[in-house]
Structure formats: structure tokens, C-alpha cells
Amino acid sequence: MKKSAIFGLIVIAIAIATIITTYSSSSTYGSFGDAKKTTEELHIVGHLDKGKELYYDAAKDANYFSFFVKDNKGEECKVIYTGTKPQDFEKSEQIVLTGRMTGNEFHASTILMKCPSKYTQDKLDVKEFKAKSASI
């Protein structure tokens, strides 16, 4: 075989390995019901339930924040986030959580908030927050 053919096969093999790795590590969108059925990480789109309590006490534990979210299918669940409470969290119009279900609680590793822009009513301001510890 020519060196160029061998080099081409190696490039193709690396490309296939990269695609497979990217596909296997990507999480999918779902609901709290889907999260209860799987151990994999999911993205859940929902809205903050403003009628329920937000718990954050920086004096006790600055890396513990809990709240309730209602997903797009209407199912409500308590969410635990191991990080500080994001600024203007209550003003968010929509929340995208990334994480796993542990018992009856969803442990979020990332929170993506879509907040109304203070300059234009038509545009949304998107803010992303990651948890302090990677262990869930």
C-alpha cells in the first residue's frame, strides 16, 4: 500500500472515533419522567415554580441551592444544584437543567437561564451556570 492510502485510512479511523465519542457523550432532552427511567444525564426544559420555596443559605452552605421546576410536560420536581444561586434567578422565563435524577430529586450540574432582556422585549438574555463539584 502507498503511504498516502495508509495516511487516508488513519484519518478516516480518527474521524469515525471522534464522531462516536461525541455521540456517546452527548446528553439528550427529556422530562423528569424520562430522567427517572435512566441513569444518563439529560437536559430538561422547564419553568421555575414561583409558588414553591427557593432554598439558599450562604451562611450554612454556599454551594447548596434547591428549588422546584415544572417541565414542559407539566411534571414538577425538586432540583438540587451544588453551586451558588444564580443572580436574578427568579426573573428567568425558562430554565434548561442538565443533570441526573437521584431518588425523587433532580441533581443539576448546569443551569441555563433564559431571562427577558432589559433593553428589548423581543430578545432573551441567556446565562449559563455550572455546579462547583462535578460529582452527582
75-85 pLDDT, tens digit per residue, is: 999 999 998 88
Percentage of the chain modeled with pLDDT above 90: 30
Identify whether 63 is part of a domain.
yes
**Can you name the residues that pair with 107 across neighbouring β-strands?**
80, 100
Return the pLDDT at 38.
85
Identify whether 21 is part of a domain.
no
Identify whether 22 is part of a domain.
no
As a whole number of angstroms, the distance between CA 130 and CA 84 comes to 9
Return the pLDDT at 66.
93
Q: Which residues span the domain enclosing 36?
A: 27-130
Lowest mean pLDDT segment, chosen from 9-13, 38-42, 69-73, 127-131:
127-131
Supply the mean pLDDT for the chain: 83
- CATH code at 58? 2.40.50.140
Residue type, 32: F
pLDDT score of 94 more than 70: yes
**Can you name the residues that pair with 71 across neighbouring β-strands?**
46
Compute the average pLDDT of residues 46-75.
Answer: 90
Identify whether 117 is part of a domain.
yes
As a whole number of angstroms, the distance between CA 67 and CA 79 comes to 5
Identify whether 10 is part of a domain.
no
Residue 56 main-chain phi, psi, to 5 deg: -150, 115
pLDDT in tens, 12-59: 999 998 888 776 655 688 889 888 888 888 899 999 988 888 899 888
The number of distinct structural domains making up the chain is 1
Identify whether 104 is part of a domain.
yes
CB-based contacts of 86, cutoff 8 Å, min separation 6: 111, 113, 127, 129
pLDDT score of 7 more than 60: yes
Return the pLDDT at 51.
87
Contact assessment for residue 95 and residue 108, using Cβ atoms and an 8 Å cutoff: no
Identify whether 48 is part of a domain.
yes
As a whole number of angstroms, the distance between CA 63 and CA 58 comes to 8
Cα-based angle 77, 133, 114 (whole degrees, multiple of 5):
50
As a whole number of angstroms, the distance between CA 53 and CA 62 comes to 17
Contact assessment for residue 101 and residue 109, using Cβ atoms and an 8 Å cutoff: no
Return the pLDDT at 58.
85
Identify whether 8 is part of a domain.
no
